[in-house]
Amino acid sequence: MSRSACLRSAALVLLVLAALAACTKKPANIFEAVEHDDHGYVVDWLEAGGNPNTLSPRNESLLYIATGPHGGNKVLAELLKACADPNLGAYGYTPLMNAASWVNLPGVELLLAHGADPHQRNAEGETAVELVGLSGGREQHVIARLKKATTQGAPHPSTRRACQGRPLRSGQAASGGR
């Protein structure tokens, strides 16, 4: 291989490494961490005293962000374990409604297991089951699970027992900084 070919190869490797480094950029705050499913950041933030019910500058709960298109169920589980309110959402929608609209069955299951109310309605009078998105047939599993939860009545108080009487951590300011 000629010297110029080696230099081009080395330059290409450096460009690839620079691109990879840009992809692993740390989130600026808890909202970015939740949106990008950065489990480690969220765990560290909660352990440092972050309040799992912190609202974003757009008044979105962390659970609402976690149930969106980029969030993730590992982060969702951590927030619920830290006693995040499963019914605190944004724009009149609960995290359960958001998870249902994105056809996120594991997210729906997690929220229901932690006391999310499938009977809650948005401003248009819709419940989570009426907001399930279309996803090539996968939506039928979400609809069935929500219908089952709806016929079971209100969430049993014991589903939130671990959080009852447990004060929420004082947390960070609304900016969600670290």
Domain ranges of the chain: 29-163
CATH topology of domain 29-163: 1.25.40
Region at 61 (left for phi over 0; alpha for psi -120 to 50; beta for the rest)? beta
Mean pLDDT of all residues in 115-143: 93
d(CA 173, CA 28): 14
Residue 20's pLDDT is: 54
pLDDT in tens, 11-27: 555 555 555 555 556 88
Q: Which residues, 6+ apart, have CB-to-CB distance to 175 below 8 Å?
A: 29, 57
Whole-number mean pLDDT of the chain? 83
Mean pLDDT of all residues in 34-55: 97
3-class state of residue 93 by DSSP:
strand
- Tally the residues of the chain: 178
pLDDT in tens, 80-95: 999 999 999 999 999 9
Does 170 score more than 50 pLDDT?
A: no
Indicate the residue type of 138: R
